[in-house]
Amino acid sequence: MQQFRQFVFTPPGCDDPSLAIAGSRADGICVFNAEYHRSAESIESALAHLATHAHGEFGVRVGSFATKPFFTQLTQYLPRGLAWVIVDPAMAKKQAKWIDGYRADGGQIVVEIMDWDDKLPKSLPALDGWMVKGHEAGGRVGEETTFILLQKALDELDVPVYAHGGIGMHTSAACYAAGAAGVVLDNQLLLLQESPLADTLRVFIGKLVGNETITLGDPGDGEYYRILERPGLLKAKSIREKSHTQSLKDIATAVIDHTNWEFPQDGVLPMGQDVAFAAPWAERFVTVGGVLGAMRDSLSVHLQQAHEFNPLAAGSPLAVSHGTTYPIVQGPMTRVSDTAGFAAGVAEGGGLPMLGLALMRPEGVRKLLEETKEKIKGKPWGVGLLGFAPAELFNAQLAVAREFKPEFALIAGGRPDQALDLEREGVPSYLHVPSPRLLSMFIEQGARRFVFEGRECGGHIGPLASFVLWESMVDTLLAEVTDPKIAQDLHLLFAGGIHDARSAAMVATMTAPLAAMGMQIGVLMGTAYLFTKEIVAGGGIVANFQKQAIKCTRTVGLETGVGHSSRCSDTGFAQEFLATKRKMLADGCSPDEIRDALEDLNLGRL
């Protein structure tokens, strides 16, 4: 197996390097995270401690406060084990001469990025690696998640790439399969035996599932600070309330100046969504050594099972169950996947088409299903429904659909009783499930077909990034599904950022333990279909829509209110939306007023 490094970061703003030292003693690379440290003396004190107590190489993540004299001081630690220095792109450019000298003396320099720019690699000095930090990580982040950034970096770079954000036992194996050279662990380790956190904070963190973290910043800028906000964390609430009218620089100052791991009620905790793994890891693995050892073992197990069961291959169990060539389902897309021609193209290509009925009136549904039944030529197809649509409309759509006997249904925002009603009529039905707790409940209530969709997807999005959501779902299924019959009945679709061989290989590797239990695995893709010839030829979108999609290099999340976000291309409309929201926030409008105004603005914009 190729070398796969495990970097263990200390919490940003924390002086205690205990977690990192424990990582070094378990063959990891310990890194003192000095991003939030303004004092060179405190950083040097920590490095001196690592030089004495760490086993093997160690590193430092340098923040924006570092000066030229500070870098000069770092050089003295190279002979004492400081083999890794991690910087951001701006610092890499600024300290290019020092970097060349440090590398010449045997040190390794890694640049950590939070978004991708095709021009960036050529603008930086020679480096020993790149670290991609996803939206789900804690502290300063960009718009793109680890899953997306890693794919972009691996496609373009010929040096080692390391993944930071959302890393668990299963997603680390996915990163390895994709070609990553290693991963970063930080929030996941906060409850382990070696963690310096006080017992009161440990109890608090032990209850988190990841969606309690929030981002501060303007989506128009694409840069944020992710922190924890919970009842009782008054400073975090205060900073969040002020952030709506502040620049990112002001937000950064507030977060950095108030980061406090000793007395969090008086400060801020920069924390990522992967804190959701902290409690189960503390229970299962106890120590940092236990985690790193289990992760190394999991790499080979996942790869062997992926090779043996190949869950996303043509003719896989889920493909056979669907009557399709591939275990691929085309995700319902409002006012896109509502044409018979496109559905026929998907079916002909070996996937399962899902007609997006959205809020279509019954007469429109009838016309669409008549045309689809005629064009699809006996191949399987399904309908996509909105479980939260007005009951009268939902029932009317179902009444029409029953006449045409779709082979499958997918209910977004649906309930188990809705799915089971259709199942009893012979229509296998999938439900979107946004959290592990709901998954356990849905399985208990008899549902067996699920979609796990990360926030990378287009259209309406949930809070959790794919890596965090998928890791939690895989763990939940492995822990709670002990009946082989139930396992074999489960049909699982993974969605959000999947579009090609590399992304599919990551999903196949991550889900291999589920396939080994007999669960049937597939992927659901929507955005990927926007780049096919069939979607234009079949009338799903016009050619100009596709041209705009091809030109798109950035997407943004547009939030009308808490829990109501959509992802779209960064267009003029997106900027109008964000400008309207900024003005209403500055004017002191209530959340209800803002939500209503922004939802009105959204109408008819697709």
Cβ–Cβ < 8 Å for 431, 442: yes
Query: pLDDT by residue (tens digit) across 38-69?
Result: 888 999 999 999 999 999 999 999 999 889 99
Q: What is the pLDDT, as a whole number, of residue 258? A: 95
How far is it, in rounded angstroms, from Cα 185 to Cα 450?
29
The H or E element that residue 538 is part of is none
Domains along the chain with CATH numbers? 5-191+276-302 (3.20.20.70), 200-273 (no CATH), 310-539 (3.20.20.70), 548-602 (no CATH)
Q: What is the pLDDT, as a whole number, of residue 604? A: 59
- In DSSP terms, which residues pair with 286 in a beta bridge? none
For residue 355, which phi and psi values (nearest 5 degrees)?
-75, 125
Residue 122: alpha-carbon gap to chain centroid:
27
How far is it, in rounded angstroms, from Cα 580 to Cα 586?
10
CA atoms within 13 A of residue 548's CA, in its CB half-sphere: 12
Q: What is the pLDDT, as a whole number, of residue 97? A: 96
How far is it, in rounded angstroms, from Cα 507 to Cα 391?
35
Q: What is the pLDDT, as a whole number, of residue 1? A: 63
Which residues does the chain have with pLDDT short of 50? Answer: none
Q: What is the pLDDT, as a whole number, of residue 565? A: 85
For residue 242, which phi and psi values (nearest 5 degrees)?
-80, -25
Cβ–Cβ < 8 Å for 3, 181: yes
Written as six digits, the tokens of 367 are 């016309």
Cβ–Cβ < 8 Å for 172, 238: no
How many Cβ atoms sit within 10 Å of the Cβ of residue 33?
Answer: 26
| DSSP 8-state code for residue 374 | H
Q: What is the pLDDT, as a whole number, of residue 459? A: 85
Cβ–Cβ < 8 Å for 330, 540: no
Cβ–Cβ < 8 Å for 37, 65: yes
Q: What is the residue type of 407?
A: E
Written as six digits, the tokens of 493 are 């679709």
Residue 155 contacts by C-beta under 8 Å, 6 or more apart in sequence? 502
How far is it, in rounded angstroms, from Cα 254 to Cα 264?
14
Q: Looking at the chain, how many residues does it have?
A: 606
**Alpha-carbon torsion angle 578, 582, 587, 589, nearest 10:** 60
Q: What is the pLDDT, as a whole number, of residue 602? A: 77
- In DSSP terms, which residues pair with 429 in a beta bridge? 409
